[in-house]
C-alpha cells in the first residue's frame, strides 16, 4: 500500500517537536495510513457499519454488494459499487440484505448525491477540509465523525483532528494528562501543537491503543 506523500515529512516534524510522538513513531516504523476503495463504495460501507458489530457489518455488506452487482477489481480485491444502480435499488431489496429502514434511506440518499453531482469527487481537491465535511454531512446518515474518517483514510488529508473520537480522547489522556480526559474544545486547542499533521498524530495515538491499523 502506497505511503502518503506527506508521511515522512510529517513524522520527522512531529518527532522533533513532541517527545511522546517521537516515541510512538519509533515504535511503529513500518506502517502508515492507507487508502482503500473508491469514494462512493467507501462511504456506503461506513453507513453499513454504523452501530453494529464488525462481523454483522461484513455479513450485511456481502449480501448488499451481491444484490447491487458490485464489480470486483481482482488486482486489489476491491468491490466497486455503481451509485446509479444503488439509487434504483428497492427498499425491500436492501431490507432483505440486512439494512434497517433508516440505513436503507441513508444509502439511497448517498447514491442520489453522487448521481446528481451534489457529491462530485472531481471537485474535492479544490475544497478545504471544512467545506468537504459540510458537503458530506449533507447526506443522511453521515455525521461529522464519519466525514472526518473519510477525509483521513480516503482523501488522505493530513491535518484532521477528530476531537469527538473516543480513541483519540483516551490516548491523549493516557499519554499527556495522566488519564484525565479532555473535552472536545480543550482537545482542539491542545491538538494545535501537531498542526499541520494532526491526522498523522491521531493515527499514531490510535496505534498506541491498538497496534493493528484500521482501514476504512
Are residues 59 and 149 both part of a single domain?
yes
Are residues 49 and 145 both part of a single domain?
yes
Per-residue pLDDT of the chain (216 residues; tens, 9 = 90+): 689 999 999 999 999 999 999 999 999 988 898 887 899 999 999 999 888 887 898 899 999 999 998 766 544 446 889 999 999 999 999 999 999 999 999 999 999 999 999 999 999 999 999 999 999 999 999 999 999 999 999 999 999 999 999 999 999 999 999 999 999 999 999 999 999 999 999 999 999 998 776 665
In a domain, 148, yes or no: yes
Are residues 55 and 117 both part of a single domain?
yes
Q: What is the pLDDT of residue 75?
A: 45
Are residues 59 and 74 both part of a single domain?
yes
Are residues 165 and 191 both part of a single domain?
yes
Are residues 15 and 51 both part of a single domain?
no
Q: What is the pLDDT of residue 211?
A: 77
Last residue of a domain, one of 106, 122, 153: 153
Cα gap 116→84, rounded to integer Å? 9
Please give the model's pTM, rounded to 2 decimal places: 0.88
Are residues 149 and 101 both part of a single domain?
yes
Are residues 22 and 116 both part of a single domain?
no
Virtual CA dihedral for 178, 180, 184, 187, nearest 10 degrees? -20
In a domain, 100, yes or no: yes
176 lies in which domain range? 7-34+159-209
| Sequential DSSP letters for 6-40 | THHHHHHHHHHH-HHHHHHHHHSTT------S-HH
Last residue of a domain, one of 153, 169, 192: 153
Q: What is the pLDDT of residue 69?
A: 84
Are residues 172 and 78 both part of a single domain?
no
Task: Extract the C-alpha cell encoding 78.
Answer: 476491491
Q: How many domains does the chain have?
A: 2
Alpha carbon of 140 to those of 106, 107, 109: distances in Å?
A: 5, 8, 6
Q: What is the pLDDT of residue 154?
A: 92
Q: What is the pLDDT of residue 79?
A: 81
In a domain, 1, yes or no: no
Task: Extract the C-alpha cell encoding 166.
Answer: 473516543
Are residues 91 and 183 both part of a single domain?
no
Q: What is the pLDDT of residue 214?
A: 62
Are residues 55 and 129 both part of a single domain?
yes
Task: Extract the C-alpha cell encoding 176.
Answer: 499527556
CATH of the domain at 21: 1.10.1670.40
Amino acid at each position: 500500500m502506497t505511503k502518503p506523500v506527506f508521511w515522512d515529512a510529517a513524522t520527522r516534524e512531529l518527532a522533533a517537536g513532541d517527545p511522546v510522538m517521537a516515541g510512538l513513531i519509533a515504535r511503529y516504523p513500518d506502517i502508515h495510513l492507507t487508502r482503500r476503495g473508491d469514494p462512493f463504495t467507501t462511504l456506503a460501507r461506513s453507513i453499513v457499519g454504523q452501530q453494529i458489530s464488525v462481523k454483522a457489518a461484513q455479513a450485511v455488506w456481502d449480501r448488499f454488494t451481491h444484490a447491487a452487482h458490485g464489480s470486483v477489481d481482482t488486482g486489489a480485491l476491491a468491490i466497486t459499487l455503481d451509485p446509479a444502480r444503488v439509487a434504483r435499488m428497492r427498499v425491500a431489496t436492501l431490507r432483505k440484505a440486512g439494512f434497517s429502514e433508516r440505513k436503507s434511506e441513508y444509502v439511497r440518499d448517498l447514491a442520489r448525491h453522487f448521481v446528481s453531482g451534489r457529491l462530485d469527487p472531481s471537485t474535492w481537491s479544490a475544497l478545504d477540509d471544512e467545506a468537504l465535511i459540510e458537503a458530506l454531512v449533507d447526506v443522511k446518515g453521515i455525521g461529522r465523525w464519519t466525514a472526518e474518517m473519510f477525509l483521513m483514510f480516503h482523501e488522505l488529508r493530513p491535518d484532521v483532528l477528530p476531537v469527538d473520537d473516543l480513541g483519540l480522547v483516551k490516548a491523549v489522556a493516557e499519554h499527556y494528562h495522566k488519564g484525565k480526559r479532555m473535552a472536545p474544545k480543550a482537545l482542539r486547542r491542545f491538538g494545535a501543537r501537531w498542526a499541520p499533521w494532526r491526522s498523522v498524530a491521531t493515527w499514531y495515538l490510535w496505534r498506541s491503543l491498538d497496534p493493528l491499523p484500521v482501514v476504512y
